[in-house]
Amino acid sequence: MTEVNKILTKENFSNEDLEFLLGLQGSEKTLLFEHSAKIKEKYVGNRVYFRGLIEFSNICSKNCLYCGIRHDNQFVNRYRLTDAEVLSAARFADENNYGSLVLQSGELETGSFIKRVEKLLLEIHKITGNRLRITLSCGEQEKDTYRRWFDSGAHRYLLRIEASDQELYEKLHPYDGRHMFQRRRNCLNTLQEIGYQVGTGVMIGLPFQTLKNMANDLMFLKEFEIDMVGMGPYLVHKNTPMFALRDKLLPLEDRLQLSFKMIAILRILMKDVNIAATTALQAIDQLGREKAIKIGANVIMPNITPGKYRDDYLLYQNKPCTDENADDCKTCLEVRVALTDNEIAYGEWGDSEHFRSRIKSATDSRVK
Ligand code: SAM
Ligand code: SF4
Q: Which residues contact 84 (CB under 8 A, 6 or more apart)?
A: none
Tell me: the pLDDT tens digits for 88-119?
999 999 999 999 999 999 999 999 999 999 99
Helix residue ranges, H only, the chain: 3-8, 15-22, 26-43, 83-95, 111-127, 143-151, 166-172, 181-194, 211-223, 252-269, 279-284, 288-295, 326-339, 353-367
Protein residue with least CA distance to atom 2, ligand 2: 106
CB of 40 closer than 6 A to ligand 2? no
What is the C-alpha to C-alpha distance for residues 93 and 95, in angstroms, rounded to an integer?
Answer: 6
What is the C-alpha to C-alpha distance for residues 183 and 192, in angstroms, rounded to an integer?
Answer: 14
What is the C-alpha to C-alpha distance for residues 251 and 335, in angstroms, rounded to an integer?
Answer: 29
Q: Give distance in angstroms: CA of 237 to centre of ligand 1.
A: 12
Q: Are strands 52-57 and 154-158 parallel, antiparallel or unpaired?
A: unpaired
Other C-beta atoms closer than 10 Å to the C-beta of 106 total: 23
What is the C-alpha to C-alpha distance for residues 59 and 76, in angstroms, rounded to an integer?
Answer: 9
Which of 70, 140, 203, 206 to probe ligand 2 with, by most ligand atoms within 8 A of CB?
A: 70
Q: Give distance in angstroms: CA of 304 to centre of ligand 1.
A: 18
The helix (H) or strand (E) run that includes residue 155 is strand 154-158
Contact (Cβ atoms closer than 8 angstroms) between residue 158 and residue 137 = yes
CB of 160 closer than 6 A to ligand 2? no
What is the C-alpha to C-alpha distance for residues 168 and 60, in angstroms, rounded to an integer?
Answer: 22
What is the C-alpha to C-alpha distance for residues 171 and 243, in angstroms, rounded to an integer?
Answer: 13
Helix, coil or strand: residue 100 = strand
pLDDT digit string (tens) for the chain, length 368 residues: 799 999 999 999 999 999 999 999 999 999 999 999 999 999 999 999 999 999 999 999 999 999 999 999 999 999 999 999 999 999 999 999 999 999 999 999 999 999 999 999 999 999 999 999 999 999 999 999 999 999 999 999 999 999 999 999 999 999 999 999 999 999 999 999 999 999 999 999 999 999 999 999 999 999 999 999 999 999 999 999 999 999 999 999 999 999 999 999 999 999 999 999 999 999 999 999 999 999 999 999 999 999 999 999 999 998 887 777 777 677 778 888 888 889 999 999 999 989 988 888 887 877 76
In order of 38, 115, 186, 223, 316, the CA distances from 352 in angstroms are: 19, 28, 22, 17, 28
Phi/psi of residue 287, each to 5°?
Answer: -105, 20
What is the C-alpha to C-alpha distance for residues 131 and 98, in angstroms, rounded to an integer?
Answer: 10
Which atom of ligand 1 is nearest the CA belonging to 69? 9
CB of 259 closer than 6 A to ligand 1? no
pTM to 2 decimals? Answer: 0.96
Q: Of 117, 108, 115, whose CA–CA distance to 135 is shortest?
A: 117
CB of 203 closer than 6 A to ligand 1? yes
Which atom of ligand 1 is nearest the CA belonging to 66? 23
* Ligand number with the minimum distance to the CA of 71: 2
Q: What is the pLDDT of residue 368?
A: 67
Helix, coil or strand: residue 348 = coil
Q: Give distance in angstroms: CA of 64 to centre of ligand 2.
A: 6
Q: What is the pLDDT of residue 4?
A: 94
Q: Give distance in angstroms: CA of 66 to centre of ligand 2.
A: 9
Tell me: the pLDDT tens digits for 56-65?
999 999 999 9
